[in-house]
Structure formats: C-alpha cells, structure tokens
Amino acid sequence: MTIMDNTVLSFLQARKKKTILLSELEQLVGGQASYEDFALLINDLEQKGILTAVKQQGYNQKPIPLANAYRIIQSKIPADFLQEIERFHFILHPLIKLEAYYSLAASEWENDLPYIQHINHFLKEQGLPDDEATAPERSYALVGDEKWIDEKGGKKLLERVGIWSAMNIVYLPDPLMLAVNQLQHAQRDETGLHLVVENKTTFHALLEYLPDTMFYSLIYGAGWKITADIIMLDKQLSLQNREHCIYYFGDLDYEGISIWHSLNMRHLALPAIAFYRALLSKPAARGKETQVCNEEALAHFLTYFSFAEQETIRDILGNGGYYPQEALSRAELGAIWRDASWS
C-alpha cells in the first residue's frame, strides 16, 4: 500500500457524503503521482468495490477514462490499518500524536509501532523528563538502544509523534583536541595563553615547539568545529578560576577569517598577528575565488592590522588570492611562536 493509497482511503473513510467527484480525488492526490498511476488506483478501488462509477455523470476523455463522479461504498474500505491507528489513539499516552500516519504507507506504521509502544511505556511510567540528557542516554531510556535517536531514525519518529522538543535532549560539543605545556601547567597564578590553529598540519608542525613557549596549550581547531567546542576549554583544563587568553591562527582567506570571527563571538580570541604578518611576506596563492566574504568578519579582523596591511589583505582576497597556513615552514612557525611578543 502506497502513501497515495493511504491518503485516498483515509479520506474516503472519513467522508460523510456518499459520492465524490473525480476532480476532488485529483486534488487530494495532487502531485503525488502521474495520471496513469492515479487512474490505476481509481480502477483498483472500483475492482475492490470501494468506488462505483456514477455513469450518469459521464467520463473524462483521457486515454484511461475515469468517471466524473463515484459512489463511496464505506463497507468495502479495508479497516485494519486505519482502525488500528484509531484504536491506538485511545490506548497511547495523550501526548503521542498519530495523525501523520494517516498519510503514510502502512509499512511506516508497522515499523514505528514497536518504538511507539516503548515510548508510551516510558511516558506512562515516568512522564515527560525534567532532566536534560544526551541523545544516547535518552535513546537508551526510551527504547533500550543508545544509537536509535541519532543513527536509526529515532529523532524523525519523535518529531512525527510530536514529542521531540519535550524529550529535553542536549547535544554536547566534542572534546577539544589539544596539547598541554607541562612547564606552564604549574603557573596557576598567571594568565594562561592558548593558541588555536585551524589545520592539522600546522598543529603537528607547532607541537614540538610548545615546551619552548609561554603558552599553556596548543589547540587543533579542525576548521569550524572549534566554534562549538571551545566551551570545553575550562572543563578540560580545569581553568575555571584562572584568567586565560586565546590566540587564533587560520588560513588567511575569507573562510578562515569567518571562523575566527565566529569563535570570537563565543569566546574572546585574538588573531595571532605575528603568524599572519609572516604570511603576508609570502607570495599569495590562488584558487579560493568562490569563497564568500563576510564583510563584518573581515572589517573586525582588519582592525588588528596597520592601514597598509589592511589594504594588502583586502586587495589580495578581493582578487581571489589567499594564504594557507602551510605557506609557513615548520621552522618558521616555531621561530615565530617562540620569539614573538604575546603579551
């Protein structure tokens, strides 16, 4: 039974009038199927005795002719699927909504019903959850499978039955990928400095120089991930009672600047100017012509540079140029990080 079949059968079963126009049936189906498929459905309903043609109204003039009007024989409509949904309306917890299943294939209902029953048991036993939980935790509590919500269609089902928002599910950021300078770890009374780098290659290139710097940690930003994961910094390093300052170094292109800007909106992060200035001494690369400029991000980023540097950056980026972090060698990166002023 297809979605179109269920739509038509549900409509016919609920209809109080004993007749229906062909045009009404066509509007009901809409763009769900071609005329040929629609005609096959109507003919099938005729063969099953659910519809009988009102011959006095005539027929349309299409290659597969259909009557312009039909009588509905309610007693012939198969009631098992639809009646089962109606029966569960009275059995399930009142917060569980089943209206969506009237327009879905019977197989969707059959697949979802075991999970709906698990959810019903949870709601009747415990009610709506007051506490927040991760998706795996809530998934296991509901159906005994920690992967059900995120990986097996559970979120879609919870939305379908109208209780997703009431499940109080929170998504936690991934842990930060970082290295800690043990020499700075003991300096608990000083401001902790942290360097976030956008790309993995730069992270590994700088890693060996970390003990030679005044920085507490080196953090791999993984592109845009850092904008969500940065909230883990205090928790992972137990820095709740310590002042700390974050520097950011990414590709000198529109996207890298936008990543910095988004990070800075969540947690104050200063552009690592010494690295960017070193990039400006290199030949610009090309190949990022399709990147979109976030003018607000660019304008804010440029305030950290001299007027001449601002003009250079705008000119290079505006003409499709950019500077990848990898333009600086391992030795150059290490020397800049070790010798620059980071106060």
pLDDT digits (tens, 9 = 90+) for 53-63: 999 999 998 99
Q: Which of 170, 204, 224 is the last residue of a domain?
A: 170
Residue 161 shares a structural domain with residue 51? no
Residue 51 shares a structural domain with residue 86? no
DSSP H or E segment with residue 20: strand 19-21
* Full domain range(s) for residue 84: 80-170
Residue 148 shares a structural domain with residue 224? no
CATH (domain of 10) = 1.10.10
Report yes or no: 309 and 183 within 8 Å, Cβ to Cβ: no
The pair of three-digit structure tokens given for residue 52, joined into one six-digit string: 């009988």
Residue 236 shares a structural domain with residue 320? yes
Segments of the chain scoring below 50 in pLDDT: none
Residue 115 shares a structural domain with residue 68? no
Residue 184 shares a structural domain with residue 328? yes
Count of domains forming the chain: 3
What contacts 78, CB < 8 A, 6 or more positions away?
Answer: 9
Helices (DSSP H) in the chain: which residue ranges?
3-14, 22-29, 35-47, 80-91, 106-126, 135-143, 148-151, 154-160, 182-185, 200-207, 226-229, 233-237, 254-266, 273-280, 295-302, 307-318, 330-339
pLDDT (0 to 100) of residue 237: 78
pLDDT (0 to 100) of residue 183: 64
pLDDT (0 to 100) of residue 256: 95
d(CA 112, CA 217) in angstroms, rounded, equals: 48
Q: What percentage of the chain's residues is helix, strand, coil (to nearest 5)?
A: 55, 15, 30
pLDDT (0 to 100) of residue 153: 94
Residue 40 shares a structural domain with residue 136? no
Residue 191 shares a structural domain with residue 240? yes
d(CA 58, CA 49) in angstroms, rounded, equals: 19
Residue 227 shares a structural domain with residue 332? yes
Residue 192 shares a structural domain with residue 310? yes
How far apart, in Å, are the Cα atoms of 309 and each of 269, 287, 314, 317, 332?
A: 20, 21, 9, 12, 20
In terms of Cα–Cα distance, which of 201, 327, 311 is closest to 252? 327
pLDDT (0 to 100) of residue 1: 52
Q: Which of 56, 76, 96 is the last residue of a domain?
A: 76
Report yes or no: 97 and 103 within 8 Å, Cβ to Cβ: no
Report yes or no: 197 and 172 within 8 Å, Cβ to Cβ: no
Report yes or no: 234 and 245 within 8 Å, Cβ to Cβ: no
DSSP secondary-structure letter at 100? G
Residue 44 shares a structural domain with residue 115? no
pLDDT (0 to 100) of residue 287: 80
d(CA 283, CA 287) in angstroms, rounded, equals: 13
Identity of the amino acid at 39: A
Residue 85 shares a structural domain with residue 111? yes
Q: Which of 136, 170, 204 is the last residue of a domain?
A: 170
